[in-house]
Structure 1
Amino acid sequence: PARPGGTAVSGTRIAVVGAGLIGRRHLALVREHPGCTLVSVVDPDPTARDGHGAPGYPDVPTMLADTAPDGVIVASPNARHTEHVLSCVRAGVPVLVEKPVADTVAGAERAVSAAEDAGVPLLVGHHRRHSPLMAAARETLRRGTLGDVVAVQGSALFRKPDDYFADAAWRREPGGGPILINLIHDVDNLRALCGEIVEVQASTSNAARGFAVEDTAAVTMRFASGALGSVLLSDTAAAARSWEHTSGENPDYPHHPDEDCYVVAGTRGSLGVPTLRLRVYTGEPSWWAPFHTSVLDVAARDPLAAQLDHFVAVVRGETTPLVDGREGLRTLRTTLALTEAARTGHPVTP
């Protein structure tokens, strides 16, 4: 294949849909990847889609009619995910869609079923599943180092600037609040660490910004194992208790290496994530006894880059999706159950 003008194209041919905040990160990673070639950028805004070294298109059908990508990364606004995934599936092109897989369960079910029926790989961008920090935490829990997990505390507290909402009005509307944009990552992380969430309760507030969506939420969870969890979320809180600020995996954010955003506690010990500070009893567990404290040693890596490696391997038929459409749908169901619990004031089973 050749680019317009006759330049040969090598490597896995990737198109990116959506050139916003996260889309630009995907674009940079694709351009830098030695095994990928960026072949097109889709965005309705010509100023957003141009200047990336690849042809720009206003919509997905036009791009697919003119280009033959091996894979497509969908990073458009949440409400457009279903239609963009379906367009790729109908064309038989493997797709990596940013989380959430869709903004509604019905839309997600359509996309997931279509991909399964067509045999087209569908990956959901819960990129923290590719984090070495999460992998080390999961392995610690799998080995039973903490004993039986009984509780988990989580936080997603950060302060988004006003221009974040001025630049993309959809973030002020239903489907664009911090539950679906941010907390869904934490829901997925907690599912990966502690297992399925079988009941949720929540309260939300929009008092700080007054938008049509929440800016703050308090959540409680019951896991299938019997463990309980709580999470505080706010995108108007001047705090550094979020994955972005504690993990150091995204250089766009200041790093606070002394902070955790999760603490998982079991009957014999506890683990802070992402610091990976491990405190366990070496003898009989008792609040009178000292802990043995250590820090797990993990080599850092950008999980978005690792996710792109994985997507390329899936496109080439070398592996199956780590987070497929069905898994993304489970996380979406649980996350939307939180909004339903907040709306009704009653516990909800995802």
Structure 2
Amino acid sequence: MKRILVVGGGLIGIRHVAAIQAHPGCELAGLVDPDMSIAPDLTRYRDMSEVAGDVDGVIIATPTGLHAQHGIYAAERGWHMLIEKPVATDLAGARALGAAIANSGVGSLVGHHRRYHRPVQQLKKLISDGGIGTPVCANLIWAMRKPDTYFEGNWRTAGGSPVMINLVHDIDLLRFVIGEIATTTALRGSGLRGTARIESGAIALAFANGATGTISFADTSPSPWGFEAGTGENPNIGTTHQDMMWIMGTKGAISFPSMTLWQGEDWARPAVPMPLDILENDRAPLDAQLDHFIDVMDGATPLIDVADATRTLATALEIEAQLTPQLEGVANA
């Protein structure tokens, strides 16, 4: 029975608390958050330094700017850790965290939980097994209309870029199923909310294996396209079951999440849909992630550790940096 501490009592932190409480292989060691009005019925701490009981692992669900600090402290305490994404706000913090983990010998896992979707794992295997031949190109869309209140009176007022909040997930998804991203070029869309915040844009990607890809994104446009909408994984986002990613290869193509597989090499004949026994999630991805975290505490190889997540972060930061000068130019015009 693993004793797991949760740090951060926001929306995702409380979901982690519920997952731990429902899991037969672990128990909640407590919740750390300076706001003691959150979940007062639980064992509560204002700060990690107050925790005195036995802890095997910690789930860090605090704001991104605190991830490295809290992860380094957890490593010093000898606690295995699951850190929400992005792993840190910058590469210096991510690398310092990675060094602390290496020095302490604890296990690390980062919450890019899309990797736990069984259809995502099936997609990765199908591509690696040559199901569409050699990957050539990919297109991905993430677009939704976030409510204005999402940005009011909190850290998102100045730093609520969808690149670091949302696209970091899509970047990791593309890395996971296609391969490492070698270069990026990003263009910013017009700002519609009257601030300098990044709201929309287009990104061109070159993968190390020779494939290319694009991402179109917006947090100002209601649409049926996005991972959360397509898969129905987030209870706070309406489900549409529409595809949001299309991957093309030398022998066929596949769209996700419907996992519609097309094959055909003769341009005189139309590509035809191929039968595919589509895997379904037998557990919610957050629950599957918790299963794996328990295994990581027992020595299993993590599906995505801090070092791996740092590569996703590096790509997201590169895209953010390419967009930021464009924003400053607009602000100074």
Which SS does the other structure have where 2:131 is aligned?
coil
Task: Give the match's secondary structure for 1:16.
Answer: strand
Quote the RMSD (CA, aligned, Å).
Answer: 1.7
* Match of residue 309 from structure 2: 328
Structure 2, gaps ≥5 residues long: 327-333
Runs of 4+ in 1 over 6 A off after TM superposition: none
Contact 2:189 2:202 in 1 (8 A): no
Matched position secondary structure for 1:173: helix
Given candidates 276, 280, 294, the residue that maps to 1:299 is: 280
Partner SS, residue 224 of structure 2: strand
Aligned to 2:89: 103
**Alpha carbons of 1:39 and 1:212: their partners in 2 closer, same or farther (altered >3 Å)?**
farther
1:198 alignment partner, one of 182, 205, 216? 182
Q: What residue is the counterpart of 1:19 in the other structure? A: 9
TM-score normalised by L of structure 1: 0.88
Say whether 1:180 aligns with 2:164: yes
Out of 187, 197, 217, the residue aligned to residue 213 of structure 1 is 197
Q: Deviation of residue 34 (structure 1)? A: 1.2
Would you say 1:127 and 2:96 are equivalent positions?
Answer: no
1:273 aligns with 2:256: yes
* Per-residue deviation, residues 198-232 of structure 1 (Å, max 9, x unmatched): 10011234612234531212111001111111001
Give the superposition deviation at 1:54: 2.4
Could you list the per-position Cα deviations for residues 55-105 of structure 1 after superposition, in whole angstroms to 9, with x for gaps in the alignment? Answer: 111122223xx2321100001011111111011011010010001110111
Identical counterparts, % of pairs: 37
Give secondary structure in 2 for the equivalent of 1:38. strand
Letter in 2 for 1:152: A
Alignment match of 2:318 (pick from 334, 337, 343): 337
Q: Which residue of 2 aligns with 1:74?
A: 60
Which whole-Å CA distance do the structure 2 matches of 1:287 and 1:333 have between them? 43
Equivalent residues in 2 for 1:253-268 (5 A)? 253-257=237-241, 259-268=242-251
> 1:210 aligns to what SS in structure 2?
coil
Amino acid at match of 2:266: P
- The alpha carbon displacement at 1:40 in A equals 0.9
* Aligned mates of 1:117, 1:89 — CA distance in 2: 8
Deviation (angstroms), 1:296: 3.9
Question: 1:58/1:334 Cα in 2 relative to 1: closer, same or farther (>3 Å)?
Answer: same
Partner of 2:139: 153
Q: State the TM-score, normalized to the length of structure 2.
A: 0.93
Judging changes above 3 Å, is the alpha-carbon distance between structure 1 residues 209 and 326 closer, same or farther for their aligned structure 2 residues?
Answer: same
Distance 1:189 1:214 in 2: 21
Which residue of 229, 252, 258 corresponds with 2:213?
229
Is 2:252–2:271's contact at 8 Å kept on the other side of the alignment? no
Deviations 1:327-349 (A, max 9, x none): 0101000110101222357xxxx
Identify which of 109, 118, 121 aligns with 2:104: 118
